[in-house]
Amino acid sequence: MKKLLINIICGFIPNRNRRNRIRMQLKYHNTIVKMIEFAKSHSTKKHPKIKTSIGFGCHNFVVIVDDSMVFKFPIKTDGKEIAIREKRITDALRPLSSIKIPKMEIINWNNITVRKYEFIRGVSLDSFSIKKRIKYADIIIKQLAKFLYEIGQADPKEIRDLKPTPHKKPSFMYGWYQNDLWYNFIMDPKTLKIKAFIDWEGTTFCDFGKRFKEDLHQRTKKIKYTMYF
């Protein structure tokens, strides 16, 4: 009955992001309250500043504390496997990237694995209008290209076992790929310099061309879905 009522309520909300947010809050209200309280407990302030968001696909609940710490709570799994994998990858690739990869800490809480990141102040690409994205495309793309090359050509021994074929070496358009370049970088709004890359959980060692096509296909499906619903 609860699930039916939630679906009915959310059916009247046209905005997809808002619909997902409200659905999660209704479904996991008590758990979310506990998550926020846990994140707040890491602040030294009497009245911590809190911001929350819902991860893509409603897989994570994100709490930002005092614009200095980011906590990512898994919703549908215990989050252990993906957290360990992401930390191994970011720790290995961080020294090899000219663009900052935020430090990550793993915390065990209430039988789930919480990921804690340092907060990076700035803006993401989705805060820009289409006109502004086109205007500054050259500046942004040059930075992305350099980043893709650095990470793609990296072959740290610490994570070779995570490759589909461990002995396979990086080559042209083939190597480590962050897997979601679209909006997961933080920029300085004045200089347009990319300050950091976030969300490394989907990082893979793969064929860039094939991955780009798959990403474009998924983004196109998402746009069509949003238009109709």
For the stretch 31-41, pLDDT in tens is 888 999 999 99
Mean of the per-residue pLDDT values for the chain? 86
pLDDT at 71 over 80: yes
Distance CA 39, CA 108 (A): 13
* CATH for the stretch 125-228: 1.10.510
Note the pLDDT of residue 54.
81
Name 186's bridge partners. Answer: 196
Superfamily of chain region 2-118 = Phosphorylase Kinase; domain 1 (3.30.200.20)
What dihedral angle (degrees, nearest 10) is formed by the CA atoms of 4, 5, 7, 9?
Answer: 160
CA 57 to chain CA mean position, Å? 11
The model's confidence at residue 100, banded by pLDDT at 50, 70 and 90, is: very high
| For range 185-213, the mean pLDDT | 92
Contacts of 104 (CB under 8 A, 6+ apart): 86, 87, 90, 91, 115, 116, 117
Where does residue 228 fall: left (phi above 0), alpha (psi -120 to 50 degrees), or beta otherwise?
A: alpha
pTM recorded for the entire structure: 0.82
Beta-bridged to residue 124, according to DSSP, are none
Q: Are 19 and 10 in contact (CB under 8 A)?
A: yes
pLDDT interval class at 182 (50, 70, 90) = confident
Q: Which of 1, 4, 71, 68 is nearest to 32 (CA)?
A: 71
Q: Token pair for residue 197?
A: 């890359």
Domain ranges of the chain: 2-118, 125-228
Compute the distance between CA of residue 18 and CA of residue 35 in angstroms, rounded to an integer.
20
Percent of the chain with pLDDT over 90: 65
